[in-house]
Chains A and B, each alone.
Chain A
């Protein structure tokens, strides 16, 4: 496929798909709770409303934080669609999160600061699992490049898939690991890392969340490349599993998140890699 077409797809598709998925997310969550739920296009209305609000900021760094976050998540998504180095994509995702955290630190507000610190703890929990996913890809396939995946990875990397579900819970900001900020209505830290953002910057962050969602679901769909349909089905299955987990559990403390993601997530990944090398990987 033409590279520019892929770039255009990477820029246009995630907001559309992402907003549909987030709308579906809220409808399914509502149905699980015995409610009716908002219309499917609700995230679109939310984002447009935010973009149209009168500008209100606390400082210049907020703009840098939100725009940097969006730019680098878009970059990671574009790199993903172009089939580039998975390890580099994970590192670029890290850069995006750094922008978000520094933007939150930039305001002297108690909730913002606590949220930023907790976001760092989230990074400490999920980034090792993402890096070891990239390493797992290399061990199973001999290359870090996504474009060189030519057979389904699920048979050889299924424990890492389970660890990725854990990462999905953290990145989608769902219970039990919505430590730094949560989707809605969990208000002990107000909105945590997003508290001081408002209006257009919050709208840009919402758009970034859509890209991030599609990107992480993309990581999961890698397990069944090159078939796009099975990969997407797998990703949607994991997404639904996360929704289920969100509605069953309550929020845990950050130390539980750290312990669980390191012991359970990294443990699974290590078992996977040991198994691969024992069975004679690539």
Chain B
């Protein structure tokens, strides 16, 4: 693993977006920042600005009011980026599945890399999910590199 990929894994900056959650998962995410769980050990910082972030943490189901905002934020994040969905509502709609105004899980709107189920998801699970997402980041980079090499060979 080269130094650049190592840096990208060791410095994930978060954007936390609540898509329609009851705030239970949000509180668990914020709990990760507290001294008990301390995710800053992994270099994780809650940035709040899509242009500065690599990891998008989404809670709550995708709904007709919020999907536009979610897409906009996703587009404003520069590559390489990872989307991690926290909580059952984000995975599939959860208790709100099939309600009017609900489109379903977040993957109906943007591509999702890691699903962390739970209602609410536990901080340990959230941290696990983020670490898994960072691993996916390395995979994505490697895949993009091989594809770029293949394109070069074709051309």
Which residues of A are interface residues toward B (Cβ below 8 A)?
26, 30, 33-39, 42, 44-49, 52-56, 184-185, 187, 190-191, 194-199, 202
The answer to whether A45 and B78 have CB atoms under 8 Å apart is no
Bound: A191/B48 CA distance, A = 8
Q: A53 with B41: in contact, given A34-B35, A196-B51 (CB under 8 Å)?
A: no
The answer to whether B43 and A191 have CB atoms under 8 Å apart is no
CB proximity of A145 to chain B, nearest CB, Å? 40
Contacts of A39 in B (CB 8 A): 10, 43
Chain B residue with Cβ nearest A197:
B51
Q: A45 with B41: in contact, given A190-B49, A198-B78 (CB under 8 Å)?
A: no
Bound: A198/B53 CA distance, A = 9
* Number of residues from B at the complex interface, CB < 8 A: 27
Contacts of B13 in A (CB 8 A): 46
Pick from A38, A195, A198: contact of B41, CB under 8 Å: A38
Which residues of B are interface residues toward A (Cβ below 8 A)?
3-4, 6-8, 10-11, 13, 33, 35, 38, 40-43, 45-49, 51-52, 54, 76, 78-80
The answer to whether A54 and B80 have CB atoms under 8 Å apart is yes
Contacts of A52 in B (CB 8 A): 4, 7-8
Bound: A224/B54 CA distance, A = 43
The answer to whether A49 and B47 have CB atoms under 8 Å apart is no
Contacts of B51 in A (CB 8 A): 56, 195-198, 202
CB proximity of A85 to chain B, nearest CB, Å? 37
Chain B residue with Cβ nearest A192:
B49
Bound: A185/B6 CA distance, A = 24
Bound: A34/B45 CA distance, A = 17
